[in-house]
Amino acid sequence: MSDDATGFEIAVRPSRAVRALRASVVGLGVVGFALAAWLSRGRENGWILLALGAMMLWAGWRHSGFGLSWGALRVSADGRAAWRPEGGGFEPVRIERWFSGEGLVWLRMRGAEGDRRDVLVGRAGLADDDWRRLCAWLVWMRRGRSAG
């Protein structure tokens, strides 16, 4: 976190619970396709269904735009946001959609080149000052609720 009076920066890392939830969703998909293949055993389409399911799950996991976001969000004094993916540099982003709840903020950002990034920030993962800055920025942009 930068304590610069002209803006702030927040490190974004998915929590262990979010990573476990994502893995369990993929696991549920694997179990579902395996069950469908087992139920259709004795028919030649059963194994095709299992193979198709495995390919779809792999493609969804690997190439989805809904991957977990690791990086940093920087907000300048005038409210402009920039995102730095882990291992990269800051690039300006536009906030398209958002949700601000009691203990969770979700942001959908779009970069200058049109790439989309969804970011989840949990209150438990931030210091109180960082959480208040983030909530104040969203309220200032009319996109959130007060830090309360």
Does residue 12 contact residue 71 with C-beta atoms inside 8 Å? yes
Segment 95-128, tens digit of pLDDT: 988 888 888 888 999 988 888 888 888 888 888 9
Q: In sequence order, which residues have a C-beta less than 8 Å from that of residue 62 and are 6 or more positions away?
A: none
What 3-state class would DSSP assign to 23?
helix
- Between CA 103 and CA 124 the distance in angstroms is 7
Per-residue pLDDT tens over the stretch 135-147? 889 888 875 455 5
| Residue, of 120 and 84, whose pLDDT is higher | 84
Give the phi and the psi of residue 127 in degrees, each rounded to 5.
-70, 155
Q: Is the pLDDT of residue 1 over 60?
A: no
pTM to 2 decimal places: 0.66
Structural tokens at position 70: 């690791």
Segment 36-58 shows an average pLDDT of: 76
Q: Report percent pLDDT > 90 for the chain.
A: 18
94 in Cβ contact with 110 (< 8 Å): yes
